[in-house]
Structure 1
Amino acid sequence: MADTYENYVDGEWRASETGSTFEVRNPSDTTQVVAEVQQSSEADANGAVEAAAAAQDEWADTPGPARGKFLRETAKRMDQRRDELAETLASEEGKTLSEASGEVGRAVNIFYYYAERAMDYAGESYNPSAQGQNLYTVREPMGVAGLITPWNYPIAIPAWKMAPALATGNTVVCKLSGDAPTVYLKVVECMDEAAEAAGVPDGVVNVLTGSGEAVGQPIIQHEAVDAVSFTGSRQVGDMIYEQATDAHKRVQTELGSKNPTVVTESADIEEAARIVGGGAFGVTGQACTATERVLVDESIEEEFVDALVDYAEGVEIGHSVEDPGMGPKVSESELGTTLDYIETAKEEGATVEYGGGQPEGSEYEDGHFVEPTVVTGLDSDATVMQEEVFGPFAGIMTFSDLDEAIELANDVEYGLAAGIVTNDHSEANRFVDEIDFGIVKVNEATTGLELHVPFGGMNASSSETYREQGEEGMDYFTIIKTVYDSY
């Protein structure tokens, strides 16, 4: 029988006032229930915000090293449960066990990183114009941070929002995605233990499950919430941005994308296919940084397509905890969306070079599996070349020169991650200069990020307000006070 998880509010585990729960199922085998979690309400959300607001002053007054101790103690407990967390993540989200282990390790390191940064992040000193004066800045917490997180990186994304918010003295209210909440609820178990060890006030961390309408909206709209950070779809993100800014809250959104990788004539074909295949089919294409548009020099198109098809053929599909090359889509609706996009591509004239459907076999019958898919023959304005498929999909177009390649790469409304594969560094430099994307990769997959550098998109991929991760992730959760001291 699957375990039932409660919300974590005001330092204790609480059942929702609705009395209702919902099941989280394994996308590799939907007959398996991973957990039951709370179907929370507006009253639950309001209670969590009120608990965070009540604890905020005491937490803000807690010295940075003490806040860092809390994050460090959390990271230690996560590290001790690393294998359990990875298996839980794989079981509920669909990443392979290796991919899940990598994400868990990233989350552990995020907590360790911000534990250290909490000790020395305070402000700056300046040289004043007047003698006998001290001139400096102090960074103070925004207050209560509302965090709305997605299912596709269910431990890393909540970690990279929550850890910098806590390190800088904010209290937090976090709504987890209903598709894959269990792994982070286990992180909250670690935080609960760490809070007792580090003497953290009740109400500093509050985490709930439930629908966006019932839980997310009240968090965003509550007058006690000072900052909102959201990662998810553009449609929802635009709505959240409008509501939060209308209420004069600080807001940060990271949304979808349609990421290109350019393969130039000078590139090594096999290496390029490996880079593109990893970026397109890794984590089942369920990453906002995944490669979906592949722009190939027309002189090497045939050779490259053959190499990418060979790569796709070599991707072993299977149950995530068995650690295959690629796991399932997270849900039936996500699977249906991907298959619908592939059908649309066919209707618009695409040639499916590989994949395009669901794998056959009894081992796939109860899961949300899809084949890695490679298509050719579409123009830049085709639906699947403009809209995010969010599955293991690579649409290939050709270009005649670098001017056209950059023009095609920029020919989308999004702008998160872009890559180029080349053995000509002048091509790489020009691409970096002219591409309108927030992350640029040279001879690397568009997926895969460092935790100590800024992360974020441009254009429709982001609110373009503040970056996440690194020191910039702390900047978002603080406001500057400038002090002129002539005492």
Structure 2
Amino acid sequence: MALHDTTGDPALDPTAEGGATVHNCVAGEWRDPSGERHPITDPGTGERVGTVGYSTAADVDDAVAAASEAFADWSQRPVEERIQPLFRYKALLEEHQEDLARTLATEHGKTLSEARGELRRGIENVEVACGMPSLLKEGSGIVEGAAPDIDEAGVRQPLGVFAAITPFNFPGMIPLWFLPHAVATGNAFILKPSERDPITPARLVALAHEAGIPEGVVNLVNGGPESVNAICDHEAIAGVSFVGSTGVARHVYERAAAAGKRVQAQGGAKNHVIVSDSAALDFAAEKTVSSACACAGERCLANDVVLTMDAVYDEFAEAVVAEAEAAEVGYGPDDPDVGALITSEHRDEVAGYVERAIEEGAELLRDGRDVTVPGHEDGIYMGPTVLGGVTPDMEIAREEIFGPVVALSRVESFDEAIETLNASEYGNAASLFTERGREAQQFRREAEAGNLAVNAGTAAPMAFYHFGGQKASFFGDLHAQADDAVRFYTDQTVYIERWPGE
């Protein structure tokens, strides 16, 4: 499937080779990065759909200089003025949502429905940022008579230039976790998207400019590790947001923090589902398979370890296998149930986890490794795979798989399930299926994860709540979205006033 018509799109000029060349955007000017060019591939077909250049440290310097210059004026504008382009941005994103979704599904491999939902989640963050006048009031009230003849007030102020380094798995949503909040609070912003699917982020930046966000307030640099390290080290960048694997999240956190920056670094995950013997098993199976296999399992909220009470284990396993077998694997833009994985190397890595689990004693209940999609034989596909008899010591129960794999484990009691969940080094999300309020209450109080759900397959918070990873799933103090985002992008000055009498 070809991408949208790039004619006239400043972010995506057509090339003689076909596809689109993705540019950087610095001070409103679309320009080629200085580094090597790399192909962008549609994982559902194996076909090249574009080219992206990698930025050097000098390219990052240019973007920071442009952002710093823009910040001087932008930060002084009234917040009511700063949010007006965001209202227009929301309207433009909704106007182009279908076209953006098709582009996203093509360059990433996920299904069209998943791409639409991802963009909707991103737009919700723009909606929240449009309420910045109210959000900035938090902690900013005045206290008359705080001390004799003294009034005090808290005032939130922007800090300068912020950068976000975003992953391949949600190229439409995750940039919008950061961009609207940074802009609305009065900061300038640099986006460094994944080099694997940079077309959608480039179009998001182009629409931001079309909405009226001034030149230099939002900038785009493409690239790989050199760009990431240059962002972490740059003395004129006040803060860095990162989403990706735990290893890289830890690296970004340590390097950027050592350079004196604020950092919020969302890492990997190993999320658990607990299935009580009171649960509606068919419902739980449907939501479990959907959670583990949506976006082909390439998401940090995938619940892929299922701690099932022994009394219902066999019945639940049958229901999970039935759901997995019913899922259609196909080309993302055609909107099947499960789309492609991002690269063949990643598919091989996921398949390797499955093979090692079998060697460690897990039972292969449903094998999705040998999947071919007719008409797209060169695509990178793997179907839902179900493993039974998984124990906590197995690699597949401990490490993030990032593929469409469900691992079923038996537990004797609810307490054992909670203990197993909490033993994980990660703490991103967990779900519970139960009909008992007591179990739900214990889960809420004791489960060590930042995003919890009861009778819902995926604990994905709305944009007006922060995204709360814990333990090795998050490095930093303030999370993405909502009130945490406002605090991350601003600093608070306490203003003390006294007027002595004559």
TM-score by length of 2: 0.93
User: 1:371-427 CA deviation, whole Å, 9 max, x = no partner?
Assistant: 101101221011010000011111111111111110111121000001100000110
Whether the 8 Å contact between 2:168 and 2:196 is mirrored in structure 1 is yes
Q: Determine helix, strand or coil for the equivalent of 1:345.
A: helix
Does 1:151 find its partner at 2:180?
Answer: no
**2:481 aligns to what?**
469
**2:37 aligns to what?**
21
Does 1:177 find its partner at 2:194?
Answer: yes
Find the aligned partners of 1:105 and 1:238 in 2 and give their Cα distance: 29
Find the aligned partners of 1:64 and 1:2 in 2 and give their Cα distance: 39
Does 1:286 find its partner at 2:298?
Answer: yes
For residue 114 of structure 1, the aligned residue among 129, 143, 165 is 129
- Per the TM alignment, residue 145 of structure 1 is displaced from its structure 2 partner at its CA by 0.6
Find the aligned partners of 1:255 and 1:127 in 2 and give their Cα distance: 44
- Per the TM alignment, residue 74 of structure 1 is displaced from its structure 2 partner at its CA by 1.6
Whether the 8 Å contact between 2:278 and 2:435 is mirrored in structure 1 is yes
Q: Determine helix, strand or coil for the equivalent of 1:463.
A: strand
More displaced 10-residue stretch of structure 1: 468-477 or 414-423 = 468-477
- Per the TM alignment, residue 335 of structure 1 is displaced from its structure 2 partner at its CA by 1.1
**2:8 aligns to what?**
none
**2:365 aligns to what?**
353
Whether the 8 Å contact between 1:103 and 1:155 is mirrored in structure 2 is yes
Q: Determine helix, strand or coil for the equivalent of 1:346.
A: helix
Whether the 8 Å contact between 2:41 and 2:50 is mirrored in structure 1 is yes
Partner amino acid, structure 2, of 1:230: F
- Structure 2: state its 5+ residue gaps: 1-17
User: 1:219-266 CA deviation, whole Å, 9 max, x = no partner?
Assistant: 110000111111101111111111112112111111001000000000
Partner amino acid, structure 2, of 1:65: E
For residue 102 of structure 1, the aligned residue among 86, 95, 117 is 117
TM-score by length of 1: 0.96
For residue 205 of structure 1, the aligned residue among 212, 218, 232 is 218
Find the aligned partners of 1:447 and 1:343 in 2 and give their Cα distance: 29
Does 1:259 find its partner at 2:271?
Answer: yes
For residue 297 of structure 1, the aligned residue among 296, 304, 309 is 309
Distance 1:129 1:110, change over 3 A: closer
User: 1:81-103 CA deviation, whole Å, 9 max, x = no partner?
Assistant: 11110001100111110110111
Find the aligned partners of 1:141 and 1:229 in 2 and give their Cα distance: 16
Q: Determine helix, strand or coil for the equivalent of 1:333.
A: helix
**2:3 aligns to what?**
none
Whether the 8 Å contact between 2:27 and 2:216 is mirrored in structure 1 is yes
Partner amino acid, structure 2, of 1:36: T
Whether the 8 Å contact between 1:264 and 1:297 is mirrored in structure 2 is yes
Whether the 8 Å contact between 1:418 and 1:440 is mirrored in structure 2 is yes
**2:151 aligns to what?**
134
Does 1:441 find its partner at 2:453?
Answer: yes
Aligned residues: 480
- Per the TM alignment, residue 362 of structure 1 is displaced from its structure 2 partner at its CA by 3.9
**2:77 aligns to what?**
62
* Aligned residue runs from structure 1 range 273-422, under 5 A: 273-360=285-372, 362-422=374-434
Does 1:166 find its partner at 2:178?
Answer: no
Whether the 8 Å contact between 1:458 and 1:464 is mirrored in structure 2 is no
- Per the TM alignment, residue 117 of structure 1 is displaced from its structure 2 partner at its CA by 2.1
- Per the TM alignment, residue 447 of structure 1 is displaced from its structure 2 partner at its CA by 4.8
Find the aligned partners of 2:90 and 2:29 in 1 and give their Cα distance: 20
User: 1:149-203 CA deviation, whole Å, 9 max, x = no partner?
Assistant: 00111111111111111111111111110111111111111112122xx6x2x21
Does 1:39 find its partner at 2:54?
Answer: yes
Find the aligned partners of 1:143 and 1:435 in 2 and give their Cα distance: 37
User: 1:105-148 CA deviation, whole Å, 9 max, x = no partner?
Assistant: 22222212212224652422234333543311011112111211
**1:30 aligns to what?**
46
Distance 1:151 1:361, change over 3 A: closer
Q: Determine helix, strand or coil for the equivalent of 2:221.
A: strand
Find the aligned partners of 2:42 and 2:105 in 1 and give their Cα distance: 8
Find the aligned partners of 1:337 and 1:215 in 2 and give their Cα distance: 26
Q: Determine helix, strand or coil for the equivalent of 1:472.
A: helix
**1:10 aligns to what?**
27
Find the aligned partners of 1:456 and 1:128 in 2 and give their Cα distance: 37
Find the aligned partners of 2:175 and 2:413 in 1 and give their Cα distance: 41
Q: Determine helix, strand or coil for the equivalent of 1:95.
A: coil
More displaced 10-residue stretch of structure 1: 331-340 or 366-375 = 331-340
Find the aligned partners of 1:115 and 1:37 in 2 and give their Cα distance: 32
- Structure 1: state its 5+ residue gaps: none
Q: Taking every aligned residue pair, what percent have the same amino acid on both sides?
A: 33
Whether the 8 Å contact between 2:108 and 2:342 is mirrored in structure 1 is yes
Distance 1:485 1:269, change over 3 A: same
Distance 1:120 1:288, change over 3 A: closer
Q: Determine helix, strand or coil for the equivalent of 2:494.
A: strand
More displaced 10-residue stretch of structure 1: 433-442 or 331-340 = 331-340
Distance 1:118 1:10, change over 3 A: farther
Q: Determine helix, strand or coil for the equivalent of 1:468.
A: coil
Whether the 8 Å contact between 1:64 and 1:119 is mirrored in structure 2 is no
Structure 1 residue runs of 4 or more that deviate by more than 6 Å after TM superposition? none
Distance 1:467 1:282, change over 3 A: same
Whether the 8 Å contact between 2:253 and 2:476 is mirrored in structure 1 is no
Whether the 8 Å contact between 1:261 and 1:446 is mirrored in structure 2 is no
Find the aligned partners of 1:139 and 1:291 in 2 and give their Cα distance: 38
